[in-house]
Structure 1
Amino acid sequence: MAREYLNSDWLPFTKVTVYASTQKYVLSMACKLLLGLEYPGEVGIVSELFKRTMPGLLAVLINLPGTPFNRSIKEGKKLKLELLKIVEARKKMIPKLKEREKAGSGFVDILSRMLLEGKAHFKSDMEIVNNLISFLLSSYEGITAAITTFKYLSELPQVYDALYREHRNIAKSKSPQEKLNWEDVQQMKYSWNVICEAMRLIPPTFGTFREAKIDLNFAGYTIPKGWKILWSPFTSNKDPKCFQNPETFDPERYDRDGLLPSSYVPFGGGTQMCPGKDFAKFVMLVFTYNVVSKFRFRKRIPDEKIIYLPGPRPEKDLPVLLQQHQHHE
């Protein structure tokens, strides 16, 4: 799917806008892997409703007509209804899904897998829908991580070259039209280091909330039981006690330096670990591999700023100039 998308939406052009095109791809990939929907025709409704829901995710909780929070509630309800329709339609296909599973033929999407195991793990269709939305949220983190990764790759040619070499070594072990498999993705260690470093310097979220279960002391302050706490990765991700030269983009730090426990948690930790972590990782690595294998790119706005709405995005959506690789590279 990544090849198909790049061939239609990137290859014919010398200029693309990274934010819009990456958002389109990642949500389409999510709809394919999660729901079994085909690109580009079937994914439109779900991805559009999801995009309309996101702006109110961290909005001020004022539920009045016209506010971002109110609009997101309405779009979120529409999204859940649309996903319920898909779940109900897929449930009617369970006998065929079981036959395909026995035969070991064809791709089984996550929704189909949930339904095949539903009696043991899920109490209702709405619980399945809520799990699907959690995965979609993970894919949205994949969008922001991919965008910030491309930002740094366009600024740091030495990092790009090292990443390209890793991808070329994987490509040389495969036939030209052979697709990536899980073993290939597992080899992308430097690629994942690059993505992790991009998420460290530009976190996918400005922070997360937790509730104090007991009275506790932190840095000389007393936090009473029941108070809400906002943890910001902007402080811990750039703490020199946790990261040497914290302002430097250094993907090799994850192999060279031992990280302190819980010092870097882009997907949360413990019981609050994001359930879609591995899914988001897979989507990010596959997309980055396909883009870097085909193109070099250069920012058209060198000093473009990153803003948060609510996640990070380039102020002008990161327009870039594309240059296709030649076969001898």
Structure 2
Amino acid sequence: MIYNNDSNDNELVISSVQQPSMDPFFIFGLLLLALFLSVSFLLYLSRRAYASLPNPPPGKLGFPVVGESLEFLSTRRKGVPEKFVFDRMAKYCRDVFKTSILGATTAVMCGTAGNKFLFSNEKKHVTGWWPKSVELIFPTSLEKSSNEESIMMKQFLPNFLKPEPLQKYIPVMDIITQRHFNTSWEGRNVVKVFPTAAEFTTLLACRVFLSVEDPIEVAKISEPFEILAAGFLSIPINLPGTKLNKAVKAADQIRDAIVQILKRRRVEIAENKANGMQDIASMLLTTPTNAGFYMTEAHISEKILGMIVGGRDTASTVITFIIKYLAENPEIYNKVYEEQMEVVKSKKPGELLNWEDVQKMKYSWCVACEAMRLAPPVQGGFKVAINDFVYSGFNIRKGWKLYWSAIATHMNPEYFPEPEKFNPSRFEGKGPVPYSFVPFGGGPRMCPGKEYSRLETLVFMHHLVTRYNWEKVYPTEKITVDPMPFPVNGLPIRLIPHKHQ
């Protein structure tokens, strides 16, 4: 403070020079308010455009900005993701309804007809789309890479992951699986299945995709995954401390670890110390695009990260629920055990599994499919309309987001009588109605890792049931979905080794 001595009444004047600076928390609050108002205004314009179209799908868009995301996510975390879909199917329309989830106005298409339409009209009426949260975690996803890279990856990955090229990896999968059981199961009374299965699927993915087995290097890739998965489908607010922000940082950690492996591999290939065809990472390093250039380590790490995400989390979820349902259904366990022991009897001591052995595991795969029906690791997927069209009598506008839900058919008694019952025989013979069982999606964008997932799951089941029976530690353990389903306590089981071990 200073006094103004020129004033006759000695008035006290506060100099602007001495005025305290604005509170940083106040500034942060103003920025948040500005962001909220901007998003709300854009959403308002979007909703006006939505409402202006005659005869849109019935439904509601919920609150500004968040829409119905909180209910969409909360029903998943409570372990009843079908509630969000079935409640709206009953209230609005069994074929399609509108909502707003994860920052996008969305038409949810239900039933086999909806699945068939979305999977069969790729590039005609729809194309793939991911929420903002996924875009931030994978900023250089396949759709955003250069056209040359996209063409190469679309041609290369499906070829690598077809049954024929994967056959040679079955003995490798067998060796890795045996090591896993020897180190993480053998001699233990209780095993917590979900994290242990994730440990196995990460180790296997690192070996098949990167030829990496060193525990320290695997840990650098594995440890941040739980944080990444938690923010995968979250409200798209990327501020410090949020799930999304933590997931973005975790993805960067994994990419950095993969880049270091790729740089070392490039040197090893140049020095003839590594085979350019030994794994998918080496192939990508040594395969030029049609334009003649090679992908950078950063771009390849993005592709490998996506593959590990698919190979790790989905497979570990499937394995976890196979173990859960076999514990609850001893008669089904016995049938799997008998099938797998027939494979054992056909092998010489120490002989590794091969393609012919896996093809004999038909009932085991029915069990895996039924586990995926009841607990699909991928609960659904997004697409975007690329032109205006009419579906089930309702108008869908270009730019609208579209969502297909696996549980909308998996848990529908119209397609699966007594849907809550675990019954692998549903997949025997001709199997389910087309487009009713969609754990891997469908159409041109069907998960290319389907066959890889089948092989690693069956090899794991073989060693699991031929070594152990088991019982659940918590018989009524609850299930949550975030973003994939998992038991809240990790499914601890008490092992009962077979006497022939």
> Normalised by the size of structure 1, how large is the TM-score?
0.90
1:178-189 to structure 2, matched below 5 A, reads: 178-189=351-362
> Could you tell which deviates more after superposition, 113-122 or 126-135?
113-122
Does residue 114 of the first structure (1) align with residue 287 of the second (2)?
A: no
Distance of 1:118 and 1:89 partners within structure 2: 19
Match of 1:285 in 2: 458
CA positional deviation for 1:2:
1.1
1:242 counterpart = 2:415: yes
Residues 59-78 of structure 1 mapped to structure 2, 5 A cutoff: 59-78=234-253
Q: Could you tell me how far apart the structure 2 residues matched to 1:205 and 1:151 are?
A: 18
**Range moving further from structure 2, 180-189 or 316-325:** 180-189
- Bigger shift: 40-49 or 238-247? 238-247
In structure 1, C-alpha distance between the alignment counterparts of 2:425 and 2:214, rounded to whole Å:
36
Correspondence for 1:50: 225
Is 1:134 the counterpart of 2:134 in the alignment? no
1:1-150 equivalent positions in 2, closer than 5 A: 1-95=176-270, 108-119=278-289, 123-139=295-311, 140-150=313-323
- How many Å apart are 1:90 and its aligned residue? 0.7
Answer yes or no: is the 8 Å Cα contact 1:135–1:279 preserved in 2. no
The separation in 2 between residues aligned to 1:15 and 1:264, in whole angstroms, is 33
- The residue aligned with 2:382 is 209
- Choose 1 or 2 for highest CA Rg: 2
Contact 1:138 1:277 in 2 (8 A): no
* AA at the equivalent of 1:151: K
Partner of 2:326: 153
- Aligned residue runs from structure 1 range 289-328, under 5 A: 289-327=462-500
CA apart distance, 1:253: 1.7
Instruction: Tell me if 1:263 matches 2:436.
Output: yes
Does structure 2 conserve the Cα–Cα contact (< 8 Å) formed by 1:167 and 1:293? Answer: yes
Distance 1:39 1:191, change over 3 A: farther
Q: Distance in 1 between matches of 2:199 and 2:268?
A: 28
- Contact persistence 1:216–1:222 (CA under 8 A): yes
Question: Does the 8 Å CA contact 2:269/2:275 hold for their aligned counterparts?
Answer: no
Aligned residue pairs: how many? 323
> C-alpha separation between the residues in 2 aligned to 1:276 and 1:294?
27
Q: CA deviation at 1:176?
A: 2.7
Q: CA deviation at 1:212?
A: 2.0
1:324 deviates by: 0.5
> 1:177 matched to which residue of 2?
350
Instruction: Check the 8 A contact 1:28/1:39 in 2, yes or no.
Output: no
Following superposition, the deviation at residue 189 of structure 1 comes to 1.6
**Letter aligned with residue 278 of structure 2:** V
Q: CA RMSD in A?
A: 2.2
Q: What corresponds to 1:104 in structure 2?
A: none
Whole-angstrom CA distance in 2 between matches of 1:114 and 1:200:
34
Question: Once the two structures are superposed, what CA deviation does each residue of 1:96-132 show, in whole Å capped at 9, x if it has no partner?
Answer: 669857xxxxx92322233343556964333322221
Q: What SS class does the counterpart of residue 93 from structure 1 fall into? A: helix
Q: CA shift at 1:58, angstroms?
A: 0.6
List structure 1 segments (4+ residues) > 4 angstroms apart after TM superposition.
95-101, 118-122
8 Å contact from structure 2 (residues 467, 498) kept in 1:
yes
Letter in 1 for 2:304: L
Say if 1:222 and 1:247 are closer, same or farther in 2 by CA, change over 3 A: farther
User: Cα distance 1:294–1:135, how it changes in 2: closer, same or farther (>3 A)?
Assistant: same
Structure 1 residue 88: deviation in Å? 1.4
In 2: Cα distance, 1:118 partner to 1:47 partner: 29
Gaps of 5+ in 2: 1-175
Instruction: Give me the whole-angstrom Cα distance separating, in 1, the residues matched to 2:285 and 2:456.
Output: 23
Q: In structure 2, what is the Cα distance between the partners aligned to 1:262 and 1:286? A: 27
Shift of 1:220: 4.8
Report the alpha carbon displacement of residue 307 of structure 1 after superposing the two structures with TM: 0.3
Quick one: distance in 2 between partners of 1:257 and 1:179? 31
* TM-score after normalising by structure 2: 0.61
Counterpart of 1:16 in 2: which secondary structure? strand
| Distance in structure 2 (CA, Å) of the matches to 1:307 and 1:220 | 35
Distance 1:146 1:163 in 2: 14
Q: Quote the sequence identity (%).
A: 37
Structure 2 distance, partners of 1:116, 1:278, is 24
Deviates more, 1:47-56 or 1:63-72: 47-56
